[in-house]
């Protein structure tokens, strides 16, 4: 074969596999239809540029793993050497297999190649999901008949994007402000995002997007890549004067971290790639793939109450049972006992790593609390941080050799009074697995909130000091997978000081992410909007905090806090025992609203209107069959326009007629009408009934809101 056409979900990937070089992308983007191979071969010829001005005479094929041996002067797909020799690769393809895949993967291709001079074999996998999402992975093997070690520097799969993609979008941030978007021109040169934090980090590039100028939620073609890896990451955008524009993402290896002895292999993490007209379209391909996975959560996502902001380390059975009573009274379905239940953990300086129940706090174990919670109709979750230890802990004192070290064997600097437990060490791994396994055997724990509060940073394997992040990440994956296999039905929520480890590698083995330790709904509105580019609402933990958010000291209305949390996996992070009776009644109404709407919220297509006014936002979910939708109209600042103009409702079926009405507990326009005696005509009429094409193209007048207020719009098809 000379052309491979992968086609699914409205996306085409056309690969040139002519000759013995690695595959070159002819087209990645909109579906090209069922074109015959001879037409695609003609397309390949028609789109090949003149071989003019290249570093080599003739063509310069830039493959999925770009090679200097093909003339490419930019970042290479595979880097490494053999004691300084073989610093570049020239892979020769021996076989290309093109076959279907099991759901949710529709089709794929596997390329087998080798490099005699470097003594390497390569297997390159490319798969396309039924949603159109792509993923790539390379396995590099040092040949068994070649003596010596191959020092692997890295593997960085890359995909080209058209020259018209002249704008980049990726993300930065810090704790309590994760996934803050940043845009810049896609100009000549490289845009590199890499981190040595041992996790993606608060400032992770997250999703590296390239698109047409001004691309938005609903407009402009956009191409994006993501590293599905929970350790050190590298994201790379490169535009050369040779007319080549590449996006790449993969694992970032420390020097000497992967040294392949004869017969050993390195399996790179998956690099994911999505395309769409607008960010909503590109995002939907990821959501649809996640939802099609066999292990994706299928049961209704329970209303969670988490104890951290209510009690912190001040555990007592009376206080916790009172909190459970209050939570059950407003409709909570899961009670998560956070930090402080184990060992000597009375503050954050001691006890971490000793995963046994603190008998001075719980003399009868957790059973009195577990029985009480389950008697109220809720299941039980438990906070753990298995990868970390306090030096002031039983495990650290007994086994100092299990702690990761810095080069030379010295101890790394403490962070949050913690060091890292080397889970790649068989003894340390067995210890943690044994303690967690025993807890899950003894108690009916429905979920683990799995935290990761310390960046690994400078840490190596004792006693060699070699880089440890890759081995640690793989050990964490193995630990999670083992616990879930031994305890079917166990759910895991990933947390890393909030949103420091949000990636598709972690989401492939967890059921929920904690997007941020910020429970300030004003900040959360933006954090959740951008987190949802990859994470569908049913996996995105979103909690209602106290009237004054403890992470910001900002006072916010209850209805606003609830409306923001509604578009996620709804929960409560508030000592509800301190709420007034009126607050509890209102919170219960929002819980009931969530429970009634979660079927739509957690299955529908996530959409965002392109609202030019930065003070306002409109986002929502639309059922895949177009039968219904739920939107939130949100104000977070004082607008320079009063009243707001009509806003288009995205995602509706243009051929159906819809009735739009205010929905949810907050239907009084947050008191605007009462204060000034002004009204909105379609609201006064009890709703509006219009064709979907008019709602999508012309829009609907939106209510004036004060800052940090929100209302819901329920949309139902009438024909």
pLDDT tens, 403-451?
998 877 788 889 999 999 999 999 999 999 999 999 999 999 999 999 9
- CA gap 452, 501 in Å, rounded: 8
Q: What is the pLDDT of residues 568-607, one digit of tens each?
A: 999 999 999 999 999 999 999 999 999 999 999 999 999 9
Q: What is the pLDDT of residue 368?
A: 98
- CA gap 543, 486 in Å, rounded: 30
- CA gap 483, 250 in Å, rounded: 27
Q: Can the peptide bond before residue 643 be classed as cis, meaning omega within 30 degrees of 0?
A: yes
Q: What is the pLDDT of residues 481-533, one digit of tens each?
A: 999 999 999 999 999 999 999 999 999 999 999 999 999 999 999 999 999 99
Find the mean pLDDT for residues 461-484.
Answer: 90
Q: What is the pLDDT of residues 29-47, one digit of tens each?
A: 999 999 999 999 999 999 9
| 334: nearest Cα among 493, 506, 168, 529 | 493
Q: What is the pLDDT of residues 593-645, one digit of tens each?
A: 999 999 999 999 999 999 999 999 999 999 999 999 999 999 999 999 889 98
Residue 613 annotated among the catalytic residues of the structure:
no
Place of tokens 């490494």: 80
Place of tokens 């509706």: 652
The pLDDT of residue 162 is above 90: yes
Per residue, the 3-state secondary structure of 621-656, as one string, reads EECCCCCEEEEEEEECCCCCCCCCCEECCCCCCCCC
Contact at 8 Å (CB) between 93 and 64? no
- CA gap 492, 109 in Å, rounded: 32
Contact at 8 Å (CB) between 654 and 696? yes
> What is the secondary structure of 90-150 as a DSSP string?
--EEEEEEEEE-STTEEEEEEEEEEETTTTEEEEEEEEEETTS-EEEEEEEEE-TTS-S-E
Give me 214's structure tokens: 């001004």
- Residue 640 has, within 13 A of its CA and on its CB side, a CA count of 3
Helix (H, G, I), strand (E, B) or coil at 530: helix
Q: What is the pLDDT of residue 105?
A: 86
| 558: nearest Cα among 515, 521, 523, 505 | 521
Q: Which residues pair with 335 in a beta bridge?
A: 305, 380
Residue 354 annotated among the catalytic residues of the structure:
no
| 384: nearest Cα among 492, 503, 484, 471 | 492
| 168: nearest Cα among 217, 210, 213 | 210
Q: What is the dihedral of CA 580, 584, 586, 588, to 10 degrees?
A: 180
- CA gap 648, 616 in Å, rounded: 13
Contact at 8 Å (CB) between 222 and 158? no
Contact at 8 Å (CB) between 344 and 357? no
Place of tokens 């009776």: 581
Contact at 8 Å (CB) between 111 and 93? yes
Report the b/e string of 10-19 with b at 16+ CB within 10 A. Answer: bbbbbbbbee
Q: What domains sit in the chain, N to C, each tagged with a CATH number?
A: 62-292 (2.70.98.60), 304-387+425-455+480-603 (3.20.20.70), 606-717 (2.60.40.1180)
Contact at 8 Å (CB) between 226 and 179? no
Q: What is the pLDDT of residues 75-130, one digit of tens each?
A: 999 999 999 999 999 999 999 998 776 767 889 999 999 999 999 999 999 999 99
- CA gap 388, 450 in Å, rounded: 11
Helix (H) or strand (E) holding 16: strand 11-16
Q: What is the pLDDT of residue 412?
A: 87
The pLDDT of residue 463 is above 80: no
Local confidence band at 466 (pLDDT 50, 70, 90 cut-offs): confident
Find the mean pLDDT for residues 150-158.
Answer: 98
Phi then psi dihedrals of residue 144, to 5 deg: -70, -20
| 223: nearest Cα among 287, 158, 172 | 158
Q: What is the dihedral of CA 515, 519, 525, 529, to 10 degrees?
A: 0
Contact at 8 Å (CB) between 337 and 380? yes
- CA gap 428, 440 in Å, rounded: 19
Q: What is the pLDDT of residue 673?
A: 61
> What is the secondary structure of 412-443 as a DSSP string?
PPPBTTBEEB-TTSHHHHHHHHHHHHHHHHHS
Phi then psi dihedrals of residue 190, to 5 deg: -120, 145
Q: What is the pLDDT of residues 657-688, one digit of tens each?
A: 999 999 999 876 655 666 776 789 999 899 99
Beta strands at 334-337 and 379-384: parallel, antiparallel or unpaired: parallel
Helix (H, G, I), strand (E, B) or coil at 315: coil
Annotated active-site residue in 517, 520, 575, 617: 517
Q: What is the pLDDT of residue 197?
A: 95
Q: What is the mean pLDDT of the chain?
A: 96
Residue 27: how many CB atoms within 10 A of its CB? Answer: 18
- CA gap 674, 679 in Å, rounded: 9
Annotated active-site residue in 115, 354, 451, 575: 451
Contact at 8 Å (CB) between 111 and 123? yes
- Residue 269 has, within 13 A of its CA and on its CB side, a CA count of 28
Find the mean pLDDT for residues 268-285.
Answer: 98
Q: How far is CA 693 from CA 348, 620, 657, in A?
A: 56, 17, 9
- CA gap 350, 345 in Å, rounded: 5
Find the mean pLDDT for residues 318-342.
Answer: 98
Q: What is the pLDDT of residues 175-233, one digit of tens each?
A: 999 999 999 999 999 999 999 999 999 999 999 999 999 999 999 999 999 999 999 99
Q: What is the pLDDT of residue 611?
A: 96
Going by the DSSP 8-state scheme, the letter that residue 313 receives in this structure is: T
| 89: nearest Cα among 138, 145, 52 | 138
Place of tokens 């919670």: 373
- CA gap 433, 67 in Å, rounded: 42
């Amino acid at each position: 074969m000379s052309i491979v056409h992968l086609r699914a979900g409205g996306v085409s990937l056309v690969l040139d596999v002519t000759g013995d070089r690695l595959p070159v992308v002819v087209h990645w983007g909109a579906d090209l239809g069922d074109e015959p191979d001879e037409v695609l071969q003609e397309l390949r010829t028609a789109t090949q540029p003149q071989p003019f001005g290249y570093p080599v005479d003739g063509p310069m094929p830039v493959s999925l793993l770009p090679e200097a041996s093909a003339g490419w002067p930019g970042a290479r797909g595979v880097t490494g050497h053999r004691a300084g020799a073989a610093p570049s690769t020239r892979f020769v393809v021996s076989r290309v297999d093109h076959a279907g895949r099991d759901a949710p993967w529709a089709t794929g291709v596997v390329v087998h190649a080798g490099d005699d001079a470097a003594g390497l074999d390569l297997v390159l996998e490319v798969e396309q999901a039924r949603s159109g999402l792509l993923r790539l992975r390379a396995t590099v093997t040092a040949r068994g008949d070649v003596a010596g070690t191959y020092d692997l520097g890295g593997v960085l799969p890359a995909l080209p994007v058209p020259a018209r993609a002249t704008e980049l979008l990726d993300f930065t941030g810090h704790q309590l402000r994760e996934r803050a978007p940043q845009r810049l021109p896609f100009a000549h040169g490289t845009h590199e995002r890499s981190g040595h934090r041992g996790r993606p980090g608060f400032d992770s590039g997250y999703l590296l997007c390239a698109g047409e100028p001004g691309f938005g939620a609903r407009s402009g073609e956009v191409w994006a890549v993501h590293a599905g890896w929970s350790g050190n990451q590298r994201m790379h955008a490169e535009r050369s004067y040779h007319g080549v524009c590449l996006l790449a993402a993969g694992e970032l290896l420390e020097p000497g971290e992967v040294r392949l002895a004869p017969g050993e292999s390195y399996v790179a993490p998956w690099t994911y790639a999505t395309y769409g007209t607008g960010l909503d379209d590109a995002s939907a391909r990821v959501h649809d793939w996640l939802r099609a996975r066999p292990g994706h959560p299928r049961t209704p996502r329970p209303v969670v109450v988490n104890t951290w902001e209510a009690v912190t380390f001040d555990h007592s059975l009376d206080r916790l049972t009172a909190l459970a009573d209050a939570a059950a009274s407003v409709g909570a379905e899961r009670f998560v006992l956070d930090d402080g239940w184990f060992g000597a953990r009375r503050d954050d300086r001691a006890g971490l790593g000793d995963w046994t129940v603190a008998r001075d706090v719980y003399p009868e174990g957790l059973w009195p609390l577990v029985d009480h919670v389950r008697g109220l109709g809720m299941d039980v979750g438990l906070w753990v941080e298995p990868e970390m230890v306090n030096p002031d802990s039983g495990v650290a004192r007994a086994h100092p050799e299990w702690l990761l070290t810095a080069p030379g064997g010295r101890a790394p600097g403490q962070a949050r009074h913690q060091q890292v437990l080397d889970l790649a060490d068989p003894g340390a791994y067995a210890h943690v697995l044994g303690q967690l396994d025993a807890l899950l055997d003894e108690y009916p724990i429905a979920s683990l909130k799995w935290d990761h509060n310390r960046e690994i940073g400078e840490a190596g394997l004792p006693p060699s000091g070699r880089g440890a992040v890759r081995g640690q990440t793989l050990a964490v994956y193995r630990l999670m997978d083992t616990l879930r296999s031994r305890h079917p039905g166990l759910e895991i929520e990933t947390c890393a000081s909030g949103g420091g480890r949000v990636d598709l590698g972690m989401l492939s083995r967890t059921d929920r992410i904690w997007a941020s330790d910020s429970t300030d709904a004003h900040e959360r509105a933006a954090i959740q909007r951008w987190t949802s580019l990859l994470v569908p609402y049913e996996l995105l933990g979103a909690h209602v905090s106290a009237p004054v958010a403890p992470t910001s000291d900002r006072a916010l209305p209850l209805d606003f806090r609830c409306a923001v949390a509604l578009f996620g996996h709804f929960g409560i992070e508030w000592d509800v025992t301190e709420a007034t009776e009126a607050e509890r009644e209102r919170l219960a109404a929002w819980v009931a609203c969530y429970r009634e709407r979660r079927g739509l919220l957690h299955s529908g297509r996530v959409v965002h209107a392109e609202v030019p006014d930065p003070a306002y936002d409109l986002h929502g979910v639309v059922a895949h069959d177009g039968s219904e939708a739920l939107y939130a109209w949100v104000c977070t600042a004082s607008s320079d326009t009063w009243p707001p103009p009509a806003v288009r409702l995205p995602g509706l079926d243009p051929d159906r007629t819809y009735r739009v009405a205010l929905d949810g507990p907050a239907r009084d326009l947050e008191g605007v009408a009462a204060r000034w005696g002004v009204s909105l005509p379609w609201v006064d009429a009890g709703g509006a009934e219009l064709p979907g094409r008019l709602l999508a193209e012309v829009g609907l007048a939106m209510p004036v809101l004060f800052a940090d207020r929100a209302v819901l719009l329920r949309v139902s098809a009438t024909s």
